[in-house]
Amino acid sequence: MTDTTQTFQAPRVLVFDSGVGGLSVAQEIQQRLPQVSLVYASDNAFFPYGTKGEAELIARVDQVITALLARYPADILVIACNTASTLTLPHLRSKLNLPIVGVVPAIKPAALMSKSGVIGLLATPATVARPYTHELIREYATNCQVISLGSSALVHIAEQKLRGEAIDSAAIEAITQELMNTKNAEKMDVLVLACTHFPLLKEELAQQLPARINLIDSGAAIARRVEFLLADSEDAPAGYISEHIAVFTKETAEATQLAPALARFNIDQQTYLNI
């Protein structure tokens, strides 16, 4: 009998973010598609993206994705970062020859889910300001009031959490209070977590927010899209265990500290590009 585990080529999905946020998306992909092999890439050398200018971010994402694909040819690229997707997708799609899935704010499902017509949008300051985001609101949430708040602090808190450091609950409370102090916030019943770092703090955010508010993100929809794009790929043989790796753009003590968290996402290998 031939051992099919020897010949099976797992589809490779490159999941890219500025930091650990894309792990919230990687997790959804792993749950839906256990046979895929993930290359999880973090541009920690240029983190955070949410405070960067548009031209420098487009150039940087281009540079890192080009280097990553040269080293890790992939079947699908997932830009698991709202800040990068809402800016760089047209550029990446014009130059790369593979399917690219972008993560963008879940405005449409939020507007469909809301009964009160008041939805929240929590993202990086850059995503909140993007024309792409305003277009999504115009197209899918015309009948809703959208309360937007940009926060870079939450991005840093999510990174700290995954490094195993203490969580600054007071800082999270300050952000949720700012959101809830906005006009009509007492009617808000859906909050879009439009930064991939934020689902990593879902429990902490939920603790500080009224129970009626549903926290939603794009992770599960991205996993479904990846599944659709891989529909023709070969099934994994019984007993096959996929391997995942994490690639950082810079070797730092903080990146090394992430090893236990990465292991919880089934990623046991860490490597560095140094770009």
Q: How far is the CB of 13 from ligand DGL (least distance, A)?
A: 17
Member of 49, 76, 130, 218 binding ligand DGL (CB under 6 A): 49
11 or 219: CB nearest ligand DGL? 219
Q: What are phi and psi of 116, to 5 degrees?
A: -85, -20
Instruction: Tell me if 82 contacts ligand DGL by CB under 6 A.
Output: yes
Residue 21 binds to ligand DGL (criterion: CB under 6 A) = yes
Active site residue 144: no
Question: Catalytic annotation on 81?
Answer: yes
User: What's the min distance (Å) between Cβ of 133 and ligand DGL?
Assistant: 11
Buried b (16+ CB within 10 A) or exposed e, 8-33: eebbbbbbbbbbbbbbbbbbbbbeeb
Does position 16 interact with ligand DGL (CB under 6 A)? The reply is no
Q: Quick one: which segment of 62-70, 79-87, 218-226, 228-236 binds ligand DGL (CB under 6 A)?
A: 79-87
Stretch that binds ligand DGL, among 17-25, 137-145, 161-169, 236-244 (CB under 6 A): 17-25
Q: Could you give the CA distance from residue 56 to residue 274 in angstroms, rounded to a whole number?
A: 18
Q: Does residue 48 have a cis peptide bond before it, meaning omega lies within 30 degrees of 0?
A: yes
For residues 120 to 159, the per-residue mask of contacts with ligand DGL, x marking binding by CB under 6 A and - elsewhere, is ----x--x---------------------------x----
Q: CB of residue 8 vs ligand DGL: minimum separation in angstroms?
A: 32
Give the integer Cα–Cα distance in Å for 152 and 49.
Answer: 9
Is 195 among the residues that bind ligand DGL (CB under 6 A)? yes
Rounded CA-CA distance 123/74 in Å is 28
Q: What is the DSSP string of 3-35?
A: -HHHH----EEEEEESSSTTHHHHHHHHHH-TT
d(C-alpha 251, C-alpha 188), whole Å: 42
Tell which residue, 192, 56, 42, 60, has the closest CA to residue 124.
Answer: 192
Residues at the interface with ligand DGL (CB under 6 A): 17-19, 21, 47-50, 81-83, 124, 127, 155, 195-197
Mind telling me the catalytic residues?
Answer: 81, 195
